[in-house]
Amino acid sequence: MAEYKELVNMFIQVLDEDNKISSIPLGISNRHIHLSQNDIECLFGEGYELTRLKDLSQPGQYACKETVLIAGPRGVIEKVRVLGPARLATQVEIVSGDCFKLGIQAPVRQSGDIENTPGLTIIGSKGTVVLEKGTIIAQRHIHMTPQDAQRFQVSDNQIVQLKLSGLRGGIYDNVVVRVDENFQLECHLDTEEANAMGLTSKSEVSIIR
């Protein structure tokens, strides 16, 4: 009985007004690219502004009409979606399988941590950019507000586990919690991670200590 209670207590059970366990929405990300304004103009023309196509779940973030081709030492990947708005530094987020096609070894990193990462060549409609660094595989993570963090009893940059339900469900380790007032509660996995456990954008996940 003691072992059973200890296992139950591992789960962070956040109760709502109806005493139901609160779960976390899931966002599934394919490969994409964030561009600096300077690189936007190099790729698409002087003074160019990105074309908003669809708002994303995180406030202020959106998918753009524009796509680019990325090239590594071994191969290329076409139609990589640009996400806006412009960032201070260009960052390419790929999935693990893309490394073989491109011929690079991208590390698993949090967004923005691009030091000592491989570069790529980016080809747009009007020009080319050769990156010296900036290619990563995004570490699986959960966006949440400080209020969410208090409810789930976690803190910024804390590493947790995820419980994923379904016929192919299981547990993912090394999930980083990212807390900011401007975030909206959502867990982010890439397409490979989601496909491995049969997940869709309608799936929900729960945090485990």
- Phi/psi zone of residue 174: left (φ > 0), alpha (ψ -120 to 50 degrees), beta? left
Question: The tokens of 209 are what?
Answer: 């200590």
> Does residue 11 have a pLDDT over 60?
no
Please answer whether residues 34 and 83 qualify as being in contact, where contact means their C-beta atoms are separated by less than 8 angstroms.
Answer: yes
| Of 7-16, 22-31, 177-186, minimum mean pLDDT range | 7-16
Average pLDDT over all residues of the chain: 90
- The torsion angles phi and psi of 148, rounded to 5 degrees, stand at -65, -45
CA 154 to chain centre: 19
pLDDT tens per residue, range 114-147? 999 999 999 999 999 999 999 999 999 999 999 9
Decide: residue 72, CB within 10 A, 0-12 exposed, 13-18 middle, 19+ buried.
Answer: buried
- The torsion angles phi and psi of 42, rounded to 5 degrees, stand at -65, -35
Distance between first and last Cα of the chain: 20
pLDDT tens per residue, range 43-87? 999 999 999 999 999 999 999 999 999 999 999 999 999 999 999
Decide: residue 17, CB within 10 A, 0-12 exposed, 13-18 middle, 19+ buried.
Answer: exposed
- Residue 203 — pLDDT band, cuts 50, 70, 90? confident
**pLDDT exceeding 90 applies to what percent of the chain?**
83
What pLDDT is recorded for position 165?
83
